[in-house]
Structure 1
Amino acid sequence: MRIVLVGPPGAGKGTQAAYLANNLSIPHISTGDLFRANISQGTELGRKAKSYMDAGELVPDEVTIAMAKDRMAQPDARNGFLLDGFPRNVSQAEALDEMLKSEGITLDAVLDLEVPEDEVVRRIAGRRICRNDSSHVFHVSYSPPKQEGVCDTCGGDLYQRDDDSEETVRKRLEVYHTQTEPIIDYYRNQGLVVTISALGKVTDVTKRAMEALEKLQKA
């Protein structure tokens, strides 16, 4: 299957993408991974992206699109892929359509992970990270440390990242609503959108997504 995964920040896209890609035996292609791989490998596209990032500017659509095109041309993506973070806006969605059309293939589904805005804020603003090891992550409501402000694993201080503050999260949501959310209507007009609730346990969300995709395949 060829799938685009969309949803607001805090919807659990990265987690669900990994599970779904594994269950469907297709590669998980994320924008962040594309940037990191191209930059670390020193590709021409990576150098271009880095120059914009170092200047504090957004990487232009054409660079992101070219990276995605290169990745989707790899042998492991021949039978399908799951795109996470791309397309990010309608112009990228149109470019993706043209790209796939030139290869004689189409998308099978656009999976929309739906989460209420207040829940997004609660999920992200409640995160606390260990200063000693950023892989030690807690949540004030869902997975609190035994002692407030102290990492259970190493005893390090827990803190809230600047980009996890409620004010920043709401700004990120504004950007999502303005730039990315319009692609849902774009794809809905093509009959590709499958919306599922991203509330509840990770495994429950994955089960809902798999059932929705299987139903779509049978239709």
Structure 2
Amino acid sequence: MSQVRDGGRDLYPSAMSLDACRALDLLIALGVLIFMAPLMIAIAVAIKVQDGGPVLFGHGRLGRGGRTFRCWKFRSMEIDAEARLAALLARDPVARREWEADHKLRRDPRVTPLGAFLRVTSLDEFPQLFNVLSGEMSLVGPRPIVTAEVGRYGRWFSRYCEVRPGITGLWQVSGRNDVDYRRRVAMDVLYTKTRSPHLYLKVLLATVPAVVSRNGSY
């Protein structure tokens, strides 16, 4: 696939560029999994000891082409989190408005103390490296969304479907949950239009200070 040009600018990356990003996905994901294996095992044990519940949480998300896949995380919430959320939203209009705005709760009562630590350090995301190896995700791309969020993208949803969702991306390195949803969509569209190995590596490098600073993480 050759690049389409407009006034001297490349609008879509070549197949060679996309293949390079996929090769980096596989190389980096496998390397990180091997290096972080002892820590991941320790986290799994801690979660199991905490309440005896499952170590991993798999949530249905939309991926490339609009296909549904199970996005994996270390479980950071109580075992009956979905039931707790439904009860909270039914009785608390403030929490319901916050959830409807961003599908996030700044002070989510379902999160365990261990889960809060995993979230703020982004350690809960490590199992998604297996999603990367399986080809369902990329290291860099739009954050994977649920079906209820499709309406937020409107006509730009087709752009979201062009690429694999990512563990990190422009949104994550630009403030994460402190960025409103409209800007998040704009960043996702910008990435799909301009993605390249250079941008891929730039976002990866920016992820390290973003995680360390913990800006917008909750």
TM-score grouping bracket, smaller chain normalisation: under 0.3
TM-score by length of 1: 0.27
TM-score by length of 2: 0.27
Q: Which has the higher helix share?
A: 2
